[in-house]
Structure 1
Amino acid sequence: MEDTRAGAAVSQTYRQLSDALRRGVYPAGSRLPGERDLATTLGVSRSTLRLALGKLAEENKLERSSQRGWFVRRDVVGEPPSTLQSFSEMARARGLRPQSEVLHRRVRPAAFEEAEQLAIAPASRVLDLRRLRRLDGVPVCVDSSVVVLALAPRLAEIDLTDRSLYETLEQDCGLRIARSSYTVRAAAADPATAELLDIEPGAPVLIGEELTYADDGSLILAGRMVYRSDAYRFQADLFRPIRS
């Protein structure tokens, strides 16, 4: 009988929290009140509350940080497997509004290492671009790109605020982007990046590094994207070679 009552209390708490999430009492990305305060508000024990919270976490509605408490999950963005999409294209495909704030923009000579990476002559002109990318106003990514201006000279004059770099290269510069060599690694956010992304210094981030090619094989740009780990995932199809 006691187990039945306990189960009913968990179910009722789960329904109350689910309803609060549905009504936007706790917006996406927000932190829930502490367990003690939340249990008092709902009139249940902390053990009952934790079981209800755990059920919501299993449904990917909440996530728990061991040091910071319970958070409402954000909409998670990620590339479809084997498809090269821009940040803006990913966002729009999910019904989200992409935004880009230009933090730094400068035409300069390529450094020796950049020239080697991009297969251009040292001191060739490049556009050094750094932007903060948002989804529906939420900071998600710090995006840095070094673009070969010999391939896209018009880019030096185009304002890239709230614009897709890929789409601008294709529509305004006549380049067709064909593929990207892309790697992802985990890291801890440095203080400057953490401030931009509205996370704690040292919080986990995912760093994507790319080399992007045109359809004629020319290297167009080298990019580095730092994503909040709670707002991005990377997917890929992996194949084993056929052995004869």
Structure 2
Amino acid sequence: MRDEAPRAVTAICRSLQEQIVHGLLQPSGQLPSERKLSELFNTTRITLREALGQLESQGLIYREDRRGWFVSPPRIAYNPLVRSHFHAMVQEQGRTPATEVLSARLVPAAADICARLGLPGLSGVIQIRRARRIDGRLVLYVEHYLNPSYFPGILYYDLTRSLTELYASEYGIHYGRVRFDMVPTALHPEAATTLRTAPGSPALRITRLNRDQHERIIDCDVEYWRHDAIHVCVEVPE
């Protein structure tokens, strides 16, 4: 009896994986409810959820709170060596990007942000929080921290557009050197709520520290990607 549950989990995983691979379950398509899947596989909800959790960890399916389970669409290729921005990167891969501004304001800078931007303690920074979609699916929660000295009046602009383009067109500022830090992480509650998933869900955190053409540190971005939405791909030239 002890071996029945693991065997059932394996069988469910294999069956759903085959359906996805052969195109019978389409990318972004919704799976039947857990109740219906339990009946289909003649198993308990506990066993079914273990199987679904394993498929989610593999990036084959994902869950949205109060909506259910879905088949993961293809990942976006992300090359940090290519100078681009979210909308251009997504469009170049034949997908549809969208950006929503969650908040934009001047806030007291946390100690780690002061350290990253080279600001003294108790400094103010411009914080812009945004949610980003690919083909309608929420995949990215990002916090931008800008040194206000370089971007007066930026809060009055349309912040759904590319900040890269906004910096260039309105402030004559272009990105120079960029430092990337990438680590697997778990979504904190604010990011998880924005992405309609559970706190603690796996994610990839990408932190970018950006300098301009004059070597000034101008801003810092902290991105939280759903782990099944992105594929980091780097080709180093000879």
Q: TM-score with structure 2 length normalisation?
A: 0.70
For the structure 1 residues 15 and 182, does the alpha-carbon distance in structure 2 shift closer, same or farther, using more than 3 Å as the test? closer
Tell me if 1:141 matches 2:146.
no
Could you give the per-residue CA deviations for residues 18-40 of structure 1, whole angstroms, max 9, x where no partner exists? 3534xxxx442633677666679
Could you tell me how far 1:99 is from its partner in structure 2?
1.3
Which among 175, 179, 184 is matched to residue 181 of structure 1? 179
Larger radius of gyration: 1
Task: Measure how far apart 1:211 and its partner are.
Answer: 0.3
Residue pairs, 1:40-189, within 5 angstroms? 63=60, 72-80=71-79, 82-111=81-110, 113-161=112-160, 163-189=161-187
Deviation at residue 185 of structure 1 after TM alignment = 0.7
Provide the aligned length of Structure 1 versus Structure 2: 202
Q: Which has the higher contact order (CA 8 A, sep 6+)?
A: 2
In structure 1, what is the Cα distance between the partners aligned to 2:199 and 2:154?
34
Distance 1:202 1:110, change over 3 A: closer
Q: What TM-score, normalized to structure 1?
A: 0.68
Aligned partner of 1:20 in structure 2 is 24
AA aligned opposite 1:93: E
User: Which ranges in structure 1 are unaligned for 5 or more consecutive residues?
Assistant: 1-13, 41-56
Distance 1:113-1:71 versus aligned 2 partners, 3 A rule: closer
Matched letter for residue 73 of structure 1: S
Q: 1:239 to 1:16 in 2, by over 3 A?
A: closer
**Counterpart-to-counterpart distance in 2, 1:29 and 1:216:** 47
Contact 1:145 1:223 in 2 (8 A): yes
Residues 188/153 of structure 1: CA separation in 2 closer, same or farther (3 Å cut): same
Is residue 208–residue 225 contact of structure 1 (8 Å, CA) maintained in 2?
A: yes
| Partner Cα distance (1:200, 1:165) in 2 | 29
CA contact (8 A) 2:141 2:224 kept: yes
For residue 114 of structure 1, report the CA deviation from its aligned partner: 2.8
Contact 1:130–1:145 (8 Å) recurs in 2: yes
